[in-house]
Chain A
Amino acid sequence: MAKSNITTLITSVALMISVAACGPSLTISNVDYSQPIESVLSPDADNVVTDQRYAISFSVAPILEEEDVTSADPIRLIRNNNGYYFVTAAGFSNVYVFEVGEGELDLKRIINLTDDSLGQPAFNQRGDHIEVIDLATGDSYRVNEEGRMGG
């Protein structure tokens, strides 16, 4: 009896694996999500920014709350080749890295660049990393989704 049950179980598992193997499964690799030029966006009254060109819209309110500021304008947004979004603004101390979820942006990392706030930040797409520059101070940083590169 026990042997029969084990046999039935193994058969069922094998059948399920076979069915799963026969289902739709296709993976495209080496996708480049990089956005060549950063988007410079003004939040509306509800702190929602909308990028018409790259078709994304989200609220920056949670970020403002995290930065402990009431407003920021404009918001700088860029996406790197791995598909992570980088967000910052003048007055922020950090760069926020988000990954795309289903109808949401999930915070991947907060990259602290300076103890003071950024004066006039801008993102440049540099292929394997994102360059963050502060035009007000002349400081420059290299970042990716894992954090600040090169110290």
Chain B
Amino acid sequence: MTKTFSTLIALILITASYTTVEAQQSDYEIQQEFRAEYHQITEWIDNAVSSEDLDEVSDRIDALEAEYGEHTDIINSAIYPDTYSSRLNDLRSRFSAAQQNVATIEELNERVEELEEELEEFRQQLATMDERAEDLQREIRDSQANERRLSGLVQQYRENLEERDQFVAGFLDDLLRRYETVDSETAAELREAAEQLDESPVDLIKTILGEYVNYANQATDLAAEDYLAMKAQHVYFSEFWDSMGERLTEIFDADAPVQSRQEVDDLLSNWNSAIDNRIWGAINDSFAQNNIDLDNFSSADAFYNALQSYVSSATERSEEQNREEDLEEYRNFSQYWNNTVKANWGETLFTGNILTYEQVSDIDQQLGGWNVAAVPTSNLMLILFIVALAVIIGLVIALVRKGKE
């Protein structure tokens, strides 16, 4: 009984003291706490970067409204000319704007993650191809004695290069498709998101170009058509960079876009020089292996001049000498020109800016002239003429003798 009574007294005292404390609130403190919570919520809103952050903020705004709704008059007096309602409306409006921002941020984050994954996948595939190419190069070097095996390895190496080219072209097409038409607002958002990337597409382009330069410098046992494919790839890459370089560097290398563009330009130039060091010799060798000795050349124009000079000289020779050998030379060149140069090298000549359509057409026309000159002229007419002349003379002599008789 005593215990129950004591508990009751304690409860009453606790309740009474709670009521007293509850009643004794400082209006000043209330409005100060409101201000502090308001500012804290605005900070949370400003710093929110995820939907989870905003969910918490939304709960805090609701709690603020519930907690201070009964103190509206005090707060209105304290924050005049602002009001309790205007502050809450302000929070809701900030919250709404933040929701949109966060949605944009999350969308960008997704895009960045997606891009990161794609770039990583691309890097891995490229690394695998490069590793395979290095293995093949090593095997080619080790198999110089075995001609049959060597031929197979070189073929594999070529296929590897071709596959790599197609893979890179796919990557460039993808970049073109994604970023060719981005508006300035999206570009700004991408720029912000790109700061999170460890390695940007522009970095990857530099890596790819660096590998291309190595390929061109170190490749061995490649034929003219392989270098022509490289040249075509270089032209494709250069055109891509001309159209997209500025946009990509402005997005992905916003701190130093000019420097970044210059680095890529230098790599493209190095790649072109590395190809040029090999391609003209390879083309010349290819013609020579088919008994066509062209003048030396080290540029596309010089190559065309060498072709023209060869055909022109051969035509003149055929006109002057009209030997069977001249016809044979014509046939050899014509066959190589049509079956290998035009048929196999085909588009790479044009896309690689080695020869133009007009230049090929011009060589074709000159070949027509050479063909006419090379075909040996027939003596039948002369023989018939001599026979006819002999018959006429014979007849005249016969008639004269008959007259005398």
Chain A residues with CB under 8 Å of chain B are 36-38, 40, 76, 122-125, 133, 135, 138-140
Beta-carbon contact of A37 and B29 below 8 Å: no
Which one of B17, B26, B31 has the greatest number of beta carbons of chain A within 10 Å? B26
Beta-carbon contact of B17 and A133 below 8 Å: no
Q: Can you give 28 A-B contacts (C-beta < 8 A)?
A: A36-B73, A36-B74, A36-B78, A37-B27, A37-B77, A37-B78, A38-B26, A38-B28, A40-B28, A76-B28, A122-B26, A122-B27, A122-B29, A123-B28, A124-B25, A124-B26, A125-B27, A133-B24, A133-B25, A133-B26, A135-B26, A135-B29, A138-B17, A138-B21, A138-B24, A139-B24, A140-B23, A140-B24
A-B pairs under 8 A by CB, number:
39
CA separation between A38 and B26, bound complex, in Å?
Answer: 9
Beta-carbon contact of A37 and B17 below 8 Å: no
Closest 5 CB pairs of A and B: A36-B77, A122-B26, A133-B24, A124-B27, A37-B78
Q: How large is the interface on B (under 10, 10 to 19, 20 to 34, 35 or more residues)?
A: 10 to 19
Instruction: Knowing A122-B29, A138-B17 are in contact, say whether A37-B24 is a contact too (CB < 8 A).
Output: no
Chain B residues with CB under 8 Å of chain A are 17, 20-21, 23-29, 31, 73-74, 77-78
CA separation between A122 and B23, bound complex, in Å?
Answer: 13
Instruction: Return chain B residues, CB-CB under 8 Å to A122.
Output: 26-29
CB of B165, distance to nearest CB on chain A (Å):
74
Which one of B17, B24, B29, B78 has the greatest number of beta carbons of chain A within 10 Å? B24
CB of A130, distance to nearest CB on chain B (Å):
11
Residue of A nearest to B73 (CB): A36
CA separation between A122 and B17, bound complex, in Å?
Answer: 18
CB of A53, distance to nearest CB on chain B (Å):
9
CA separation between A40 and B35, bound complex, in Å?
Answer: 15
CB of B21, distance to nearest CB on chain A (Å):
5
CB of B114, distance to nearest CB on chain A (Å):
54
Among B20, B29, B77, contact of A138 (Cβ-Cβ < 8 Å): B20
Which one of A37, A124, A133, A135 has the greatest number of beta carbons of chain B within 10 Å? A37
